[in-house]
Structure 1
Amino acid sequence: MSQSVIGGNAVAGGVGKDQPLGFNHRPSPSRVRLDACEAKDQPAFIGYLPYGFPNAEGSLQAIETICRHGVDLVEIGLPYSDPVMDGQVIQSAARIALDQGERIAGVFEAVELVAACGAVPLIMSYWNLIFHYGVENFARDFANAGGAGLITPDLIPDEAGEWIEVSDQHGLDRIFMVSPDSSQDRLKTVAGNSRGFVYAASRMGVTGEQESISASPQTLVETTRQAGADKVCVGLGVSTGDQGAQVGAYADGVIVGSALVHCLLDDSGRRSRDLQEGLNLLAAKSDELSLGIHTARLS
């Protein structure tokens, strides 16, 4: 009896009604946008904001603001009760979002908004949230909303078998992370299993704004490319247009999170500021970063 392999599983007798979904062959949405930026000799501006902060409606307005002010890809964060890899700014935003009753099901409205604005919608989430929602259910709902891919800071490819299979079935990007202490074998494993781009963390430790950017991210980008990655985007620490230009000179994309979230927090860093004031600051910061990043390779 003949067999065909569909979605990574052998199916006796070819196509049958109980077979799993086949592979989705749509091009990587993240890669398509990064290629479009590269064609203009520009790095991509990738902005992060958490869904539900300062509240559900306010977060949609904030996400729309960065889309209208130069962001190419949007990382929509899923607030988590124990965000061990996030700095104080994002932790504060996550706490406020959770206090406002943020729920994972609502994030798909934000995904639809980003897609409608013409940017590429990504979700960044600790894996436990996806696991409890249901990996197949999440992938289906995310893809139906127009989602492009998932960034999983605490999920390594070695433990991502279910996600790798399901993301292939739904045509979703898999964005795994590397850091300056990643071994050559780890870099190869991440490069071989990522789809869209590899997320290069510019330093070890939690996220947050930095006063200066060291040379280590450039070395990490180079070694990750040597390990087989086609696109490498750098995150964790960029907070000014000048820093964005510095990183954009060698990276395929520059990822900014805390500097954007900071605009929506008051001076104490623990409470959200007046929304309109925050949106104005957010628009100005996005414009600054967009200019710096998108002109990084002009001489």
Structure 2
Amino acid sequence: MTNALAPGAVERHLRARRDAGRRLLMPYITGGVTPGWTDYLRAFAEAGADAVELGLPFSDPTLDGVTIQRASEAALARGVSTRRILAELAEAPHPGVPLVASTYYNLVLHDGPEAFCAALRRAGVAGLIVPDLPVHEADELADAAAAAGIDLALLASPATPQARLAEIARRSRGFVYAVSVMGTTGERAALAASAAELAARLRHGTDRPILLGFGISTPDQAREGGRHADGVVVGAAVMRRVLDGAGPDDLRAFIATLRRALDQE
């Protein structure tokens, strides 16, 4: 990827768009899930995504629901690895919006935080989410990420006490990932009531962009999520379509419906 974005690019990019009145949209793709998986990145950006979350498959995910687990299994069955995904990413045209890698801490530890973050940077990735890394154990990775110019975004849940929520918001970079419900990722019939409360609690303590994820599946849910937070993350609804055989053009159309819904807010 030839035009990797500058250090701190995720937060600058999202802040600028938010401050211009735009509700933010970050769809998710599992790296290596199909032979031409990098084509989805460009399709997402063309449909109005403000950033893209890139899942690095792990064999024992703890927060992923059935759909994302199936996507990871499909990618691993193809023989992909973190190195291969990043190599393919480096060779593909950059979509022009920040890429935020998402994976579990075991994969970070495999190479070590410094080497892992440096590899992300070389591939054109500007941000990182590690859902099983608690804030009180994040120092080493946070330092390595900062040195590599990677924004390490931390997760906050509805069960997080207020003092800890403030610490998460303060130490997060790029954005704060607000988990809408206690549970795993996956499509749901309605946005959890806890989503609005969590977003409100976060807003009291930070001006950093807040993205709401877990269970946002439809344009109506995206619109509702955008009323509470600065934007939304959409994963399982995207990956279900990919697993069912939808190509980049099909996903471009779906992401566009989410974009229109957010713009109507």
- TM-score of the pair, normalised by structure 1: 0.82
**What does 1:203-242 align with in structure 2 at a 5 Å threshold?**
203-228=181-206, 230-242=208-220
> How far apart in 2 are the matches of 1:98 and 1:35?
35
Matched residue, 1:189: 167
Match of 1:43 among 2, 5, 23: 23
> How far apart in 1 are the matches of 2:60 and 2:152?
23
1:176 aligns with 2:154: yes
**What does 1:9-158 align with in structure 2 at a 5 Å threshold?**
28-54=8-34, 57-109=35-87, 111-112=89-90, 116-158=94-136
Q: Which runs of 5+ in 2 are unaligned?
A: 1-5
Q: Is the 8 A contact 2:15 2:209 kept in 1?
A: no
1:289 aligns with 2:258: yes
> How far apart in 1 are the matches of 2:232 and 2:32?
24
Q: Is the 8 A contact 2:15 2:208 kept in 1?
A: no
Question: Per the alignment, do residues 49 and 202 of structure 1 end up closer, same or farther by CA in structure 2, a change over 3 Å counting?
Answer: same
Structure 1 stretch 191-200 or stretch 64-73: which is displaced more?
64-73
Question: Per the alignment, do residues 115 and 153 of structure 1 end up closer, same or farther by CA in structure 2, a change over 3 Å counting?
Answer: farther
SS of match in other structure, 1:176 = strand
Q: Is the 8 A contact 1:111 1:121 kept in 2?
A: no
Q: Which amino acid is 1:287 matched to?
A: A
Q: Which has the higher contact order (CA 8 A, sep 6+)?
A: 2
Match of 2:223 among 235, 245, 266: 245
Question: How big is the shift at 1:133?
Answer: 2.2
Matched residue, 2:3: none
Runs of 4 or more, structure 1, over 4 Å off, are 109-115
Identity fraction in percent: 34
Q: CA RMSD in A?
A: 1.8
SS of match in other structure, 2:254 = helix
Question: Per the alignment, do residues 228 and 287 of structure 1 end up closer, same or farther by CA in structure 2, a change over 3 Å counting?
Answer: closer
Question: Per the alignment, do residues 113 and 254 of structure 1 end up closer, same or farther by CA in structure 2, a change over 3 Å counting?
Answer: farther
Q: Is the 8 A contact 2:38 2:92 kept in 1?
A: no
SS of match in other structure, 1:116 = coil
Q: Is the 8 A contact 2:90 2:122 kept in 1?
A: no
Question: How big is the shift at 1:109?
Answer: 4.2
Q: Which amino acid is 2:260 matched to?
A: L
> How far apart in 2 are the matches of 1:261 and 1:88?
10
SS of match in other structure, 1:263 = helix
- TM-score of the pair, normalised by structure 2: 0.92
SS of match in other structure, 1:140 = helix
Higher helix share: 2
**Which structure's CA Rg is the greater one?**
1
Question: Per the alignment, do residues 170 and 133 of structure 1 end up closer, same or farther by CA in structure 2, a change over 3 Å counting?
Answer: same
